[in-house]
A and B are shown apart, each in its own frame.
Chain A
Amino acid sequence: MTLESLNIAIAMPEVFLLAMACLVLVVDVYLPQDKRNLTYVFAQFSLIITLVLLLGNQTDSRVLAFNDLFVQDAMADALKMFIIIISFGVFVYSREYLQSRDIFKGEFYVLGLFSILGMMLMVSANNLLMLYLGLELLSLCLYALVAFSRDDGNASEAAMKYFVLGAIASGMLLYGMSILYGLSGSLQITEIAHAVIATTAGQGGADNAQNIGMVFALVFIVVALAFKLGAVPFHMWMPDVYHGSPTAVTALIGTAPKLAGFAMIMRLMVEALGGLQADWQQMIIVLSVLSLAVGNIIAIAQSNIKRMLAYSTISHVGFILLGILAGTNEGYSSAMFYTITYAMMSLGGFGVIMLMARQGFEADNITDLAGLNQRSPWFAFIMMILMLSMAGVPPTVGFWAKLAVLTAVVDVDLVWMALIAVFFSIIGIFYYLRIIKIMYFDDAVETQPLVCGRDMQIALSTNGLAILALGLYPAALMSLCVAVFS
C-alpha cells in the first residue's frame, strides 16, 4: 500500500480543517481573554480556506480515497459547501452573543470546528465505520457545547439528556450496523448494497431468514437515524436541547447537522440499503406523518421561541423524510433542496434571536419580539421573510422546497401523503403568523433600538435576502440539487 493509493488529495479540505482546528486549539491556550477575537478570526479564516479548497476540488465523478473509506461525489461537494457556509454564519451571529455572556472562549470555536469536520466526514463516508466515527465526532462536540455555559442549570440538564439519548441512538446504530456486517460480510457501503440486492433477489442461496435479518438491521438503523434527525416518536430530546443550550449552540445544532443527517440517510438507506426500499418506505411514512402532525400541533402551544423552533424543526424533518420516502431521484433532490433551504432559514431565525438577546437577557420568549417593527423595521422584515419561508408562503424559498417535495410525492402516486402534508402545514402557518403578528401588531415593551455590529447586520441581511432571492429565482439551487442525483 503506497501513499498514492490513499489518494489523500481529495480529502484536502478535511485535512486542512483538522490541522487548523488543532492549531486554533494550541494558539488559543496562549491568548489572553482580550485577544480572544483572534481565535474567532482564525476559526473563520480556516472555514473560508476550507471552502476555497472545496470549491477548487469539485468533481463530477465519484472518487474514492483512503482505501475506499472516503468518497467524493457531487452530493458530498454540494452538502459540504453549504455546511461550511452555514457554520460560518453561525460563528458570525454568535460572536457578540458569546461576548455578552462571558462565554466567549476558544473552546467554542475548537469544538465547533471539530464538529464541522465530523459533519464533513459523515457526508463523505463510504464505510460504516467512517460514518459512525464522523457522527460521533460531531455528537461529542455538540454534547460538550450544550453544557458550555456551565453555570446554567438548564444547559446542564439539556446536555445530560442530549448525551444519554444520543448515546442510546448511537448504540442502536452500531447494533444495526453490526448485524448488517454479519449478513453482508463487509463494512463498505457499495459492497453492502450488492449483498442486500443479492439477498432480496434470493441469489446465492439466500433464504428468507437472511432477508428478515436485513430488515431487522434496518429497523435499528432507521430508529437511530430518526433519533439523530429528531423525527417523532424519537424527538423528545429536541425541545429541551434547543431550549436549554445557549442560543449560539442551538444555532450550531439546528442548522448544518441537518445537512449531515440528510447525507447519513442517503448513504445508509439509499446507497447501502436501497434494495430494501419497500421496507424502509413503510417505516418512513409513519415517521414522516407523525413528525408533521406532532411538530406542527405542539409548536402552537409553545411560548418559548426556541422550543417553538424545535417543534417546527420536527415538522420540517417530516417534510424532508417525505421527499426521501418517494424513493426517486426527484424525491432525493427535493429533500436535499428542502434541507439546504431549511438550514438557511433556521440559521436566520436563530440569528434574530441572538440579535435580540442582550446582557443577561435571553429574549427567547415569543413576546420578547413584541413591536420589533417599531424598534427595528429592517430586522422585523427579515424575520417576517424567514417566518413566511418556514410556513411555505411564496415568494420565499420555503414555498419551492415544499412544492418540490409535494411534486415528488405525487409523482409516486402518494397523493394522500401530499394532502396530509398540506393539511399540517396549514396548522403550521398559525404559529409562524403569530410571530409576525407579535412583531408587527403588538406594541413594544422594550423601546430601545437594537444595536449590533456591522458584521452581524450584513450577515443577517444577506441571510434574509437570500431567502427572498432564492424564492424569486430558485432555479439555480434547484438544478444543483437535481444534478446531484442524476
Chain B
Amino acid sequence: MFADLPLLSLIVWLPIIGGVAVLLSGDKGDANGVRVLSLVISIATFLLSLGLYTGFDSSTSAMQFVEKTAWIPAFDINYHFGVDGFSMPLIILTTFTTILVVLAGWEVIKKKPAQYFAAFLIMEGLMVAVFAALDAIFFYVFWEAMLVPMFILIGVWGGERRVYATIKFFIYTFIGSVFMLVALIYMYYIGGSFAILDMHTLRLTQHEQILIFLAFLAAFAVKVPMWPVHTWLPDAHVEAPTGGSVILAAIMLKIGGYGFLRFSMPITPDAAHSLDWLIIFMSLVAVVYIGFVALVQRDMKKLVAYSSIAHMGFVTLGLFVVFQIWENPANTDGSGAALAVEGAMIQMISHGFISGAMFLMIGVLYDRMHTREINAYGGVVHTMPIFAAFAVFFAMANAGLPGTSGFVGEFMVIIASFKANFWYAFLAALTLILGAAYTLWMVKRVFYGEIANDGVRALKDINSREFAIMTILAIAVLVLGLWPAPVTEVMHATVENFLQHVSVSKL
C-alpha cells in the first residue's frame, strides 16, 4: 500500500513543515488551536511511521524504503534515506514518544506554547532523519541540527540553572561531533564516497581505524552518554522541561547507541575489536559506579538521569561484548553474540518507554508541587492513589522486574556477557540490586509513609489526560516485556548480517 509513497520523507518532513506551521500560527491567538494542531501532526506522523512496520520485510538485511536523489553533486552528497532492522524500531519509538510529549505539555506550558510545540515537532522530524539517513553528511546535518531546538527548549522553558545546563549540553555534544566530521571527511578522501554503506566496505589500516574509531567514540560516547563524559546529562535533565527530558532520555541517548551500530562497529571493526576492553570498562563503570551515584541523589530528576546512564551502559556493553564472546575459548560455537546485540536494541527501546514514563511522572508531581526534591514529598499514595499505582509499576520496570520490558534487555545482555566472561556478567547483574535499590527507595520516600506536609495533602490525583499518557506507556512496557518477539523478529536478519560483517577483519 505504501510502496509508491516516499514514506520516510513524509515522516521526516511532515512534522518539520507542521512545526513551522505551528510556529507561524503564533502565540497571539488561541493556545488550544496550537495544541490541537500539534497533536494532530504528531499522531499523523506516528500513523505514517506504522507503515514502516507493516511494510517491512524482516527476511532481509538490506535497506528498505530507500530514497536516493543527488543533493550536492560537487561532493557527491545524496538525499539518501533507508531503514533496516536497527533504525525502523527507533523511528517508531521517536514518533510514539513525540505524541506523549505533546500531551504532557498540554496545559502546563503557558509561555509561548507555539514555539514550544513547534520545537518538539521540528525535532521529531530531525531525529527521524538521523535514524533514516544513509549518507554520512546527510546524517551529520540532522545530527547537529537537532541540537538547536533542544538548546532552545532547555534554555527557554527550563528550570533555574537552565542557561548553564543548555550551553553545557550544546558544547559537549558539539565538541564530540566535530571530530566525527573530520573522520567522515577523511574517509571521503580515501574512499571517494559519503554513503554510509560504502564506508562499511572501505578498506582501512589498523592505524586509521583506531583514529576514526576514537573520533566516532568522541561523538557517540557523549551522546549515549558514557562515563566519564556523562556530566552534561544530569544538568540537562534536571533543568529541561518535562517534555525535553523525555525526548532527551527516550530518543537522543539512543542516537548515540545507534551511532555505534551504524558507524563505529561496521566501519572500524578491527579498532572496535582491539579497543573493546575500553568500552566494556566504561560500560561497567557506568552500570556499577553510576548506580551508586544514583542512590544518593536528592533530586528525583537527577536520580532518573543517573539511572539512565546506568541503563545505557547495558547498551554499550551488549554491543562490544560480542568480540569477547567470539574470542572466549570456552564458548566454542561462538553463540550469544546475536543475543547481546538484540539485547542492546531491546534495552534501548525499553529504556525509551521507561525513562520517558519516569520523567513524565516526575513532571506530574512537579506541575503540582513545583519541586523535585525527594524530601519535599512523602505519603503521596494517600492523596494520589491512581498515580501511585502507575508510579510503582514504572519503578518496578526501571528496576528490571520480570514481565516488564526493563527485564528483557538487561537479561539478554547479562546472559550474553556470561559467554564472554563471568565477571562481566557478575558486575552487570549488580544493576538488578542497585536499580531496585535506588528506584524503590525513591518510591518509598515519595509515595509511602505519612503525609509529609500540606502541599502533599492538597494534591489532586491525575486527570484523564495524564491517565491516558500513563496507560499508553504502561501497556507498551508490558507488551514489550511479555512478548518482545515482534521487535526482535524485525531486527533478526539485520543483526545476523551486522555480526557477519563485524566478524570479518578489514585488514
Instruction: Give residues in A with beta carbon < 8 Å to B.
Output: 373, 377, 388, 393-395, 399-400, 403-404, 406-407, 410-411, 415, 418-419, 422-423, 425-426, 429-430, 433-434, 436-437, 440-441, 473-475, 478-479, 482
Contacts and interface: CB of A to CB of B under 8 A. Distances in A.
26 contacts: A373-B156, A393-B174, A394-B141, A394-B142, A394-B145, A399-B141, A403-B75, A403-B137, A406-B182, A406-B185, A407-B75, A411-B189, A415-B182, A422-B182, A430-B167, A430-B171, A433-B151, A437-B155, A437-B163, A441-B156, A441-B166, A474-B72, A475-B71, A475-B72, A478-B75, A479-B73
A422 B179 contact: yes
A423 B181 CA distance: 12
Given A394-B141, A425-B178, A441-B162, A433 B189 contact: no
Summarize B's interface: helix, strand, loop or mixed. helix
Given A403-B137, A440-B152, A441-B155, A422 B178 contact: yes
Nearest to B178: A422
B12 interface: no
Contacts, number: 91
Nearest to A337: B74
B163 A482 contact: no
A426 B178 CA distance: 8
Contacts of A422: 178-179, 181-182
Contacts of B179: 419, 422
Given A394-B140, A433-B167, A441-B162, A418 B185 contact: yes
Q: Report the 7 A-B pairs with minimum CB-CB distance, sorted nearest first.
A: A394-B141, A422-B178, A441-B155, A475-B72, A478-B74, A394-B144, A410-B189
Contacts of B188: 407, 410
B279 to A, nearest CB: 23
Contacts of A406: 181-182, 185
A394 B133 CA distance: 15
Interface of B: 70-75, 115, 137, 140-142, 144-145, 147-148, 151-152, 155-156, 162-163, 166-167, 170-171, 174-175, 178-179, 181-182, 185-186, 188-189
B153 to A, nearest CB: 10
Contacts of A436: 151-152
- Name the residue in A403, A419, A474, A475 with the highest tally of chain B Cβ atoms < 10 Å from its Cβ: A403
A429 B171 contact: yes
A407 B163 contact: no
Contacts of A475: 70-74
Nearest to A429: B174
Given A429-B170, A441-B163, A478-B75, 10 more contacts: A399-B141, A403-B137, A404-B75, A415-B186, A418-B182, A419-B182, A422-B182, A433-B167, A441-B155, A441-B156
A396 to B, nearest CB: 9
B145 A393 contact: yes
A407 B74 CA distance: 11
A426 B189 contact: no
A395 B141 contact: yes
- Name the residue in B141, B147, B188 with the highest tally of chain A Cβ atoms < 10 Å from its Cβ: B141
Contacts of A373: 156
A419 B215 CA distance: 11
Contacts of A473: 71
A291 B179 CA distance: 21
Given A394-B144, A395-B141, A433 B181 contact: no
A148 B152 CA distance: 40
Contact of A437 (B70, B144, B167): B167
- Name the residue in B74, B75, B155, B188 with the highest tally of chain A Cβ atoms < 10 Å from its Cβ: B74
Contacts of A411: 189
A388 B170 CA distance: 12
Contacts of A479: 73-74
A393 B146 CA distance: 10
Nearest to A415: B186
B146 to A, nearest CB: 10
Nearest to A438: B163
Contacts of A395: 141-142, 145
A457 B334 CA distance: 66
Nearest to A334: B74
A475 B188 CA distance: 18
A433 B144 CA distance: 14
A394 B181 CA distance: 12
Contacts of B148: 388, 393
Nearest to A426: B175
A335 B12 CA distance: 32
Nearest to A409: B185
A433 B72 contact: no
Contacts of B70: 475
A410 B141 contact: no
B71 A403 contact: no
B168 to A, nearest CB: 11
Contacts of B170: 429, 433
Contacts of B145: 393-395
Contacts of B141: 394-395, 399
A422 B71 CA distance: 24
A411 B187 CA distance: 10
Contacts of A482: 74
A410 B72 contact: no
Nearest to B72: A475
Contacts of A400: 72
A478 B147 CA distance: 26
B215 to A, nearest CB: 10
A479 B186 CA distance: 22
Nearest to B154: A441
A478 B72 CA distance: 8
A423 B175 CA distance: 8
Nearest to B143: A394
B214 to A, nearest CB: 12
Contacts of A423: 178
Contacts of A474: 72
A440 B74 contact: no
A403 B181 contact: yes
Contacts of B155: 437, 440-441
A433 B171 contact: yes
A425 B155 CA distance: 22
Contacts of B171: 426, 429-430, 433
A423 B179 CA distance: 9
A415 B212 CA distance: 12
